[in-house]
Amino acid sequence: MAGRSSTPGRSVTSRALAVLGAFDARAPRLSLSEIAERAALPLTTAHRLLAELTAWGALTRRPDGRYEIGRRLWDLGLLAPVQLELRQLAAPFLLDVHTATRDTVHLAVREDRSALYVERISGRESVPVVSQVGSRLPLHATGVGKVLLAAAPEDVVDAVLRAPARATRHTVVDPGRLRRELAEARRRGYARTAEEMSLGTLSVAVPVRAERATGPAVVAALGIVVPSHRRDLLRLVPVLEVAARGIGRELSRVQSFR
């Protein structure tokens, strides 16, 4: 049933979802006015919905008055198959890579035009990165993202390359150059970046392939991030490939990934 709103036809559910949709990786904490503006809601409506969502645990109100995603949504998100099953199957292989390298290891899947990070393992020796489990980062500016984009349908590639955003001064945003990089990633079997998402970092990633009803397909990307002064980046590719094959074998045995 539609509730009262300055926008006719918007239900209570759609307005609550608009509030939650106001948050993203670049804006994980927002004030009441920012949420109202992003959700296209009157302040009074946004305030009431924020109170209800906070009481339920979907949001948390910080001491400075801003809001952020609450633990209850996090717990629910972990139940999603792409999070729960994929993470469980891949965890031992990611741990092996991290143990061998001591660097940050990522596992990501493509969600529309973004790379959704479903797992990350890092330690005290790992270089700081912007990604977190649940982050959605640009396909064209990350190692795992370029691997996923290289395997994406042409309409997705066209949409991403139409107006690629610049995350750092090193981000490749020229569509022609990006297309060449994607072609190289398909040919070589890996993609790499140099300070394109985070300054001071290099990354390399490989595809995770699993059997589907239509045949082998890229279902995820496995990557590693190292400090920019490292010169052994490509020597990590075989380590990633071994782990990716292991993950792929496990996924191929699970019916839900076919």
Least confident of 80-84, 150-154, 250-254: 80-84
Residue 73, token pair as written in the block = 């949504």
Residue 201 confidence (pLDDT) above 60: yes
pLDDT at position 149 is 97
Residue 3 scores a pLDDT above 50: no
User: Given a cut of 90, is residue 218 above it in pLDDT?
Assistant: yes
239-250 mean pLDDT: 95
- For residue 123, how far is the Cα from the chain centroid? 20
